[in-house]
Amino acid sequence: MNCILVGNFGVSNMGDEALNDYFLSTYKDCDWTVISAKPKKDELARLPIGFRSFFGMKWWGTIVAIKRSDAVVFGGGSLFTDTESLLACFLWALHAWTARLFGVPVVLAFQGIGPFRTRLGESITRSVVSHATFVSVRDEESARRIANWKMNIDCIQSADPIFICISNRYLNSSKNVITFIPRQNSSDAFLLAAKEACEAHPNAPVRILLLQPDSNDEKKYAHELLKAIDRHAQIVCVKDLAKLCEELRNAVIVVTERYHGAIPALVLGVPVTIISQCAGDKLDQLKEYASAKKSVSELQEKAKYGENALKNTLDDLVKR
């Protein structure tokens, strides 16, 4: 089965690359072609939304691959939200609309839907969801948003697949390191939580983990954070999930404004302070899970349920 995998790949974001690895390693019956912002060998370029990408003409191969594919799978992540940019909704919808043009099934797997600042962003997303062959979401808030649209579709309440990608070998270790996982635009709330963690553990070593290490803005913020907390700290570049888990197993506390920085901390049982970017976003949902002390095993079961449902859907598409 020839499948196109669409996600925010190729921007050196560890969380998105972990999702990429998950799909390629879990659904082995599929012959995957990955669409990436910076395509490597055997990958394809995104469809264009700007003049530079349009006139680069790399997207012609992507059009052909979508037309010849058996399904276009949107693989996890917060793709359909306009909290940072309305263009994001349009970018991902462009891939879905192209698939529809050629009669290729669109599969939305482990998606985070919303939140939305604009009616246009919500309308674009609603259009994509309403024509999808399969929809699974990774959190309750996303499921509620889709339910409020009152569309005649089945939406599977799952959880992020990273919940089932973490090995038990990381569970037992010393826990004496204060660990910060910022974004390039982390908020004042993040800085306040970082200072509180340093005050609570005055003698603990500090590490700042960069989950998008190729971002100069994220590196710049890390150095600004160092000055603000006035502590010696090691800045560590993290490019894969295994490295992140290795770092977190030594943490006495984690302060994170990254979704896929929070999930391993929850799985490994590390105390974690989760800073959301806005009300109702993906991090807000994880905060609710943590404060309610929802068992990790329950979330893992939901993720496994979503995984099996997706496998069944892909099997059904092969039989068509």
CATH number of the domain within which 14 lies: 3.40.50.2000
Instruction: Examine the domain organization and report whether 132 and 214 are in the same domain.
Output: no
The label of the residue with tokens 């004042």 reads 188
Looking at residue 285, its pLDDT comes to 86
**Residues 53 and 131 both lie in one domain:** yes
pLDDT number for residue 316: 93
Q: How many CB atoms lie within 10 A of CB 42?
A: 8
Structural domain harbouring 108:
2-157+300-319
Residue 144 and residue 128 in contact, taking contact as beta carbons nearer than 8 Å? no
Residues shown for the chain: 320
* Dihedral over Cα of 63, 69, 139, 237: its sign: negative
Sheet containing 134-137, strands listed edge to edge, beginning at the edge strand earlier in sequence: 44-45, 31-36, 2-6, 71-80, 106-113, 134-137, 155-157
On the CB side of 306, CA atoms within 13 Å amount to 30
Indicate if 43 and 84 belong to the same structural domain. Answer: yes
The answer on 153 and 6 residing in a single domain is yes
- Domain shared by 8 and 151, yes or no: yes
Q: How many domains does the chain have?
A: 2
Reduced to 3 states (helix: H, G, I; strand: E, B; else coil), residue 43 is: coil
Do 253 and 117 reside in the same domain of the chain? no
Q: What is the pLDDT of residue 271?
A: 93
Residue 151 shares a structural domain with residue 175: no
Residue 285 resides in a domain: no
**Average pLDDT, consecutive stretches of 10 residues, N- to C-terminus, the chain (320 residues):** 97 97 96 96 90 68 97 96 95 98 98 96 98 97 96 95 90 85 95 97 96 96 96 96 94 97 94 91 88 84 98 89
Residue 299: name the closest of 264, 256, 275 by CA.
264
Pair 180, 208: CB distance under 8 Å: yes
Mark whether 46 and 108 lie in a shared domain. Answer: yes
Best CA proximity match to 161, nearest among 73, 101, 62: 73
Same domain, 148 and 235: no
Is 197 a member of any domain?
yes
Can you give the CATH number for the domain in which 250 is found? 3.40.50.620
- Which of 275, 291, 308 represents a domain boundary (last residue)? 275
Residue 131 placed within a domain: yes
Q: Tell me the pTM.
A: 0.95
Whether residues 12 and 151 share a domain: the answer is yes
292 occurs within a structural domain: no
Q: How far apart are CA 62 and CA 80, in angstroms?
A: 20
Does a structural domain hold residue 281?
A: no
- Half-sphere CA count of 295, side-chain side, radius 13 A: 4
